[in-house]
């Protein structure tokens, strides 16, 4: 697999001319309030700048798995807003039905073998989340389809290293349902339960649930672990997401979810003597799945912007539109009017 840039999720191995950087982080939470209020928030943590742009993709887009002749092909059924990474991957997004997809790093991931001359089709890992957003309205629909394993998720060594790009995928929908998809020892493992409100990058999700079970015996009002390690972030997020105000007021619920993911963020610029490449939080997303509003916050700008999907034309004849943020552009408030027509980016693949 020839990759000119590394496929990105929440963690990655980057090779420079004479050094390697290992990073891994990120947290995802799902808030479930009264009157069908469902909100998913996540942090994107990385050791170097990970420029993001926002994209609006309409229905009817012809897509390819980007792995050669055996690529899976599909036509998008639903429009979506996504945050790209380097305009080669969609690590985060929400579609017009309120399905949210988030990719986070998972070191233990091992994917099935993909044979370019074999019988099974393939999908680049860079488009794994986008495939879900394009095709499914609910978590249950997505889980049923992924369980059929009609294609192989394709990744490979980062050039010049012995490290794979390895991520797991979280899905949540407007009903509050949730699923975590992981490839462990080459087998797809799906954890499907509306109780799965919190996920971090590591360890495998089964072990995250064990951590949760242990810490549920220790009241958060007495003690919460405070480091930036994945297990500690999982504990804090699990406690706070269910102790913040339970309300259908979007001003309070959205602000409360932002407060939780800020609590589990890694301070910008943090660097320790023995850990010079600690992942810092680069941007955050909060997706209101009831009201279909996608909030985005870059830590280097003082403002939060958002996109009201109800204002977007997602019809098959609508153009792809882009909001450039990777040059330090600053927007605040509802920003759909500032998107510009654009050619879609190409997912990094084989």
Question: What are the structure tokens assigned to 273, written together?
Answer: 């003597």
Instruction: Output Rg (C-alpha) for the chain, integer angstroms.
Output: 19
Q: Beta strands 100-105 and 89-95: pairing type?
A: antiparallel
Handedness of CA 325, 326, 329, 330 (dihedral sign): positive
What torsion do the CA atoms of 277, 279, 281, 285 make, to the nearest 10 degrees? 140
Q: What is the DSSP letter of 301?
A: S
Do residues 158 and 6 make contact, with C-beta atoms less than 8 angstroms apart? yes
Report how many domains make up the chain.
1
Domain-located, residue 47: yes
Question: What are the structure tokens assigned to 94, written together?
Answer: 């929400």
Domain-located, residue 17: yes
CA distance 189 to 183: 6
User: Annotated catalytic, 26?
Assistant: yes
Confidence of residue 237 (pLDDT cuts 50, 70, 90): very high
Domain-located, residue 5: no
CATH number for position 188:
3.60.60.10
Catalytic residue among 10, 25, 26, 56: 26
Domain-located, residue 3: no
Hey, how many other C-beta atoms are within 10 angstroms of the C-beta on 222?
6
Domain-located, residue 4: no
197 three-state secondary structure: coil
Q: Is the pTM of this model over 0.75?
A: yes
Domain-located, residue 349: no
Do residues 79 and 71 make contact, with C-beta atoms less than 8 angstroms apart? no
Confidence of residue 157 (pLDDT cuts 50, 70, 90): low
CA distance 131 to 74: 8
Expressed in angstroms, the distance from the first to the final Cα of the chain is 5
- pLDDT score at 6: 38
Do residues 55 and 338 make contact, with C-beta atoms less than 8 angstroms apart? no
Range of the domain at 32: 11-339
Confidence of residue 20 (pLDDT cuts 50, 70, 90): very low
Do residues 285 and 39 make contact, with C-beta atoms less than 8 angstroms apart? no
DSSP conformation letters of 265-298: SPPTT--BTTBTTPPEEEEEEEEETTTTEEEEEE
- The strand pairing partners of 333, in sequence order, are 305
List pLDDT tens digits, range 173-191.
Answer: 999 999 999 999 999 999 9
62 backbone dihedrals φ, ψ, rounded to 5°: -85, 120
- The strand pairing partners of 94, in sequence order, are 81, 100
Handedness of CA 101, 297, 274, 8 (dihedral sign): positive
Domain-located, residue 350: no
List pLDDT tens digits, range 80-124.
Answer: 999 998 898 999 999 999 999 999 988 899 999 999 889 999 999
- pLDDT score at 156: 65
Confidence of residue 340 (pLDDT cuts 50, 70, 90): very high
């Amino acid at each position: 697999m020839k990759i000119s840039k590394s496929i990105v999720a929440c963690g990655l191995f980057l090779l420079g001319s004479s050094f390697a950087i290992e990073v891994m982080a990120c947290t995802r939470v799902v808030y479930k309030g009264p009157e069908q209020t469902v909100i998913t928030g996540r942090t994107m943590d990385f050791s170097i700048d990970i420029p993001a742009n926002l994209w609006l993709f309409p229905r009817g887009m012809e897509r390819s798995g980007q792995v050669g002749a055996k690529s899976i092909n599909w036509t998008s059924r639903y429009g979506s807003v996504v945050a790209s990474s380097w305009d080669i991957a969609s690590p985060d997004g929400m579609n017009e039905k309120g399905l949210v997809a988030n990719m986070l790093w998972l070191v233990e991931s091992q994917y099935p073998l993909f044979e370019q001359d074999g019988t099974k089709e393939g999908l680049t890992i860079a488009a794994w989340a986008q495939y879900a957003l394009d095709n499914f309205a609910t978590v249950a629909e997505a889980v049923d389809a992924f369980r059929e394993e009609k294609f192989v998720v394709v990744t490979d060594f980062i050039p010049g290293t012995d490290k794979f790009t390895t991520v797991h995928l979280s899905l949540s929908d407007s009903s509050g349902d949730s699923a975590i998809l992981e490839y462990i020892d080459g087998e797809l493992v799906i954890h499907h339960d509306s109780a799965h409100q919190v996920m971090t990058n590591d360890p495998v999700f089964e072990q995250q649930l064990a951590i949760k079970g242990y810490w549920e015996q220790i009241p958060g009002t007495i003690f919460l672990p405070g480091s930036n390690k994945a297990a500690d972030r999982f504990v804090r997020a699990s406690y706070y997401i269910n102790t913040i105000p339970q309300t259908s007021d979007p001003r309070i619920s959205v602000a409360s979810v932002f407060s939780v993911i800020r609590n589990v963020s890694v301070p910008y610029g943090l660097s320790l003597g023995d850990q010079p490449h600690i992942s810092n939080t680069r941007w955050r997303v909060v997706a209101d799945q009831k009201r279909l509003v996608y909030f985005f916050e870059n830590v280097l700008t003082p403002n939060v912007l958002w996109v009201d999907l109800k204002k977007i034309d997602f019809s098959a004849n609508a153009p792809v539109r882009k909001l450039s943020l990777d040059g330090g552009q600053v927007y605040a408030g509802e920003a759909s009017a500032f998107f510009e027509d654009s050619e879609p980016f190409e997912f990094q693949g084989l």
